[in-house]
Each structure stands twice: as C-alpha cells, then as structure tokens.
Structure 1
C-alpha cells in the first residue's frame, strides 16, 4: 500500500529493494572473503561471487513474493511488492532468472559445486515456502549456512567438501542468524500466524541459544584445523572477540528483555566468526 503522493520507484529499484540487499550482500561478501582466503584462482573467485550473489537475490525475491499478501495485511510500507511498486509476476520472473543463472555459474565451477548450491538454495526457498512457520524453521539456515564453506572449497580446481569443523561453524552461524534476525518482527509475525522456532522459544531463549551457538562455532574453528593457515595468536585474538561479544549479548538477554542492542551484539559476533573462518585459509578444505 503506497502512501498518497509517494513517487513510484522504477521496476529495477523496486526489485532490488525486494532482494533483501543487506543480507544478500553480506553473505556474498563472506563467500568472496572465504574464496580469497582459500586461494582460489581469480576467475573462480569472480564466478563464485556472482553465483552466490544471484542465488541470494533469488532467495530474497521469493521471500517477498510469497509474503506479499501478509505484508499487505500488516501494512509493510517498506516492501515494494506489498506497496504495488512491482508486480508479483515480474518478481517471480526475476527470481527464476537469478536462480537459473546462479546454478549455471555454479556448475561452471564444478558439478559438485552446482549440486551443493542447488541443495543450499532449495533449503533457503523451502524456508520461504512454509518452513518459517514450523518448529523446524532453523533447519534451512543450518543446511544452507553449513554448506557455505563447501561452496567455496568445491569451487576450487580440485573440488573437495569443506572440513567437518567448517560445516559445524557454518551451521552455528545459521542458527544464530535465524534466531536473532526474526526478533524485530515477532509481533508482526504473530498477527499473521507465523510461528517458527524463535516465536515458540521467545525472545530471551532465542537470544541465549544464538549466543551459545556462536561460541560453539568459534570453538570448532579454533580447534578444528590441524594446521592453521595464519598466525595462531591471530586466531586466538579473534576467538576471544567472538566469545566476549557473544557473552555480552548473553548477559544482556538474561538481565533484560532482548532488544536491538542484543541483536547488534549477536550480529557483530557472527561477523567475527566469519573472519575467524576466513583466517583458516586453505585449511578450510577437508
């Protein structure tokens, strides 16, 4: 529902805003950083980055297309599809093109990468399609983020899945992101019948589990690699940073109702966990 007098943006601008550009760019930046750290060839890094970005754009577009009716009910004026700035048909067409291009680029890197990326995207789309309203809403995040390190290592000239500890770290990151990302929208979700795992756990328990998951992921990255790629002291410093920030968020969640500050702390700890993962370099591969 557009506010009277508010100019209608271009179709491209409306589609871009419907892709959840912030999270899409962050996930793409993580994949790019891991690709550089893992020592991939420059052209492989470029193709990997484009494949991940296009895949993320498709996930964001499908999410807003599926949620358009719900967003209209709660008057989400920040959602272009709910406002009518672009049609659902155009949004679905754009999402389809993005996902097909993404998978085509993935297969160009390796068939294994193409298959892994297909699983990751199918998992993300399944969340949008209905799993977000179930007790297992966290599962797609565990699968998709757990596969993220492998999307990098399977893009190498000699494709191999990521090491087990990297899978654990990715899944832990997915848990933390899911449990905190929906906290600002819990009230709106309740009005439209969305009851995923965070809604059932409540704000406080969701924040606590998110913080603990990040600490567990950091431990996996610190002790997992047989031979760290970078200086051991650097990994320890980053690990301490993850634990300290996650602990601060945990304390805040326990002493007061979790708010935006807890969300920001958990997101900062998540970013540091990604840095810690990148610091492992070539050790990322199994």
Structure 2
C-alpha cells in the first residue's frame, strides 16, 4: 500500500523545487530568454514560432545554469558557498546534473522542430556555453563563449522564421560585445572566491579595475555599432538617447572604477548593458 503524502513531504518537495530553480541562475536565464523573445517578436516570425523560440532558448538557458552549478559543486562546497543550493545541502548534485541533461535534450528537440538552421545555431551557442562551464572558465579564453553565444542570439530570432536568415551584421556584433561585457561584469563580485578555487579566466587575469574598464569599452562599442548599423531605420532621437545613456553610465563607471572599484561599478556596467540590450531590441523592431 502506497504511503500517504504528509505535509512534511510537501514541504520537502517544494524546497527541492526552489533549490532547483535557484541552481538555474534564474536572473540571467530570464533576461536572455526575454531578450530572445523580444527579438523574435521584432522579427515578425509569427506567434507559434515566437513561442517555440522562447521555449527552446529557455530550455537551453536552464541547461546552462544547471550544468554550471553541477560542475562547480565541489568548488562551491570547498569554499562554503551557502548561497549555492548544492553546497548548502538543499539538493543533490546528481539531481541538478540530470535536470541539465534533460533540459539540454529538450532544447535540441524543440530547436529541431523549428528548423535545422535554427537548431545548428542554437547547438553552437549551447556548446559554447557548456564549454565555458566545463573548461574555458579556467583559461584566458573565458570570454570567447560569451562573445559567441550572445553574438548568435539575434540570429536565433531570424533563423526561426518561415524563411530562415542570419541577423544583420551589426546586431550580431553588438550581441557579441554585450556578451563580452556580461562576462567581464559577472566575474567582478566573485574574484576572490574564484581565485581560491583555481578559476583563472580572463577577468581574473586582468583584475577588477581593468575588467570593469574593458566591460564599459565593450558596451560603448556595442552602442556605437547599433547606432551606425541602424541609421535610416531607427528614429534618430531614440538612437541618440540610448547611446548617450550608455556613454554616461560608462563615464560614471570608469571614473569610479579608477578611483575606488566597488559594487557600484558592477551595477553601472549592468545598467549600461541593459540599455544596450534595449537598444538592440528597439532597433530590431524598427528595422
């Protein structure tokens, strides 16, 4: 006879679901998925294809987040990362690794349903992200997966259409520069912990201040590329407001980074990056 579920069982299941969600890196997962969805809507590919694109990207991002925490579990436990569910004992590494594998498989299946061109591009982006989690984060080439995956992101929207095509060069270039900024920004809060467990990516080799400077330079480069590439399609006022906002954040952040690098520098880079992402979406709608 099957045992009846008790309130304690329900609480345990709920806590494990919450831990699994936390392991997916929900913030970046949601941001990338929403960005992909907005770009797909801007591409005018139809509601059904937008939904499939969002599903494929969401599953892919879940696989990336879960694989990251599963691969990093031993390091997180070693340095006592209580903010990490596996290290805190809230969920097992095996469960998170299994979830990553299932999400990856489903992402590939949904991508194949959309079309082979989309599937190839998405698989390359996911392979790049998984390679970062497994190995490249320890090397000076750690920035490459972010440039590759974010550079491909705009094309996922256009490749999902009834007539698949690559995104304009300037969207891909801006995406790659945004990815570089995201990577160099992400490492800023965890430099000490990462160094303690042997992670020596590009940001760690450069140091906090040079990484912040490079991140701001990448964002400014991205907004310039979008401004130039979208000339004639985007209202000049919109383009100028976005570009000036990014440059203003960059100047404020650079001044602070050169004086006293702190979490405010991290926040300013993130704000500049979000403005660039918004600029990319707006110009995609206008194109």
Q: TM-score range by the shorter chain?
A: over 0.9
Cα distance between partner residues in 2 of 1:236 and 1:103: 39
Trace 1:87-166 onto structure 2 (pairs within 5 A): 87-166=92-171
Show the counterpart of 1:266: 269
Cα deviation digits, residues 202-235 of structure 1 (max 9, x gap): 000000010010010111111113641x422212
Trace 1:191-206 onto structure 2 (pairs within 5 A): 191-206=196-211
Cα deviation digits, residues 243-272 of structure 1 (max 9, x gap): 11122111211122x211011011011111
Cα distance between partner residues in 1 of 2:172 and 2:36: 14
Cα distance between partner residues in 2 of 1:283 and 1:171: 21
2:84 corresponds to 1:84: no
Residue aligned with 2:80, SS = coil
> How many residues are matched?
276
* Greater C-alpha radius of gyration: 2
Residue aligned with 2:213, SS = helix
Trace 1:35-54 onto structure 2 (pairs within 5 A): 35-54=40-59
The 10-residue stretch of structure 1 (54-63 or 244-253) with the greater mean CA deviation from structure 2: 244-253
Gaps of 5+ in 2: 1-10
The 10-residue stretch of structure 1 (38-47 or 134-143) with the greater mean CA deviation from structure 2: 38-47
Show the counterpart of 1:188: 193
How many Å apart are 1:124 and its aligned residue? 0.2
Show the counterpart of 1:4: none
Cα distance between partner residues in 2 of 1:195 and 1:150: 31
Which TM-score applies when normalising by structure 1?
0.93
Native 8 Å contact 1:235 1:279 kept in 2:
no
Which TM-score applies when normalising by structure 2?
0.92
Cα distance between partner residues in 2 of 1:271 and 1:191: 30
Cα distance between partner residues in 2 of 1:140 and 1:121: 9
Residue aligned with 1:83, SS = coil
How many Å apart are 1:61 and its aligned residue? 0.4
Show the counterpart of 1:246: 250
Cα distance between partner residues in 2 of 1:55 and 1:246: 31
Residue aligned with 1:101, SS = helix
Gaps of 5+ in 1: 1-6
How many Å apart are 1:50 and its aligned residue? 1.1
How large is the RMSD of aligned CA atoms in angstroms? 1.5
